[in-house]
Amino acid sequence: MMLMQVATIVTYFMSIVLLQEYFDTSYIDSIFFVKVLLITGCTWLPLHVLYLIVNCLDPSDSKKIMEEVEDNDDRGFL
């Protein structure tokens, strides 16, 4: 998934560089980037916080087993 995000960003910026006659780049400044980061954070953050809450309240079976193995390893049972 991370690879697709990087590919999307690279494609976006390369299209701006290579197709300058089709893009109005005069509005791209530091305020533009702050607004983009703010909008991205407002859409990205709630989903990831919800994901973390769900994982804490109802962890997967593999995570439960790994926690038990780590607890036993700390006690020296393995």
Structure tokens, 9: 């960003």
Q: Please give the residue that has the higher pLDDT: either 75 or 42.
A: 42
Q: pLDDT tens digit string along 14-65? A: 998 899 888 888 888 999 999 999 999 999 999 999 999 999 999 888 888 8
Quote the pTM value: 0.56
How far apart, in whole angstroms, are the C-alpha atoms of residue 22 and residue 25?
Answer: 9
What are the domain boundaries of the chain? Answer: 2-75
**Higher confidence at residue 6 or residue 74?**
6
Euclidean distance between CA atoms 62 and 57, whole angstroms = 14
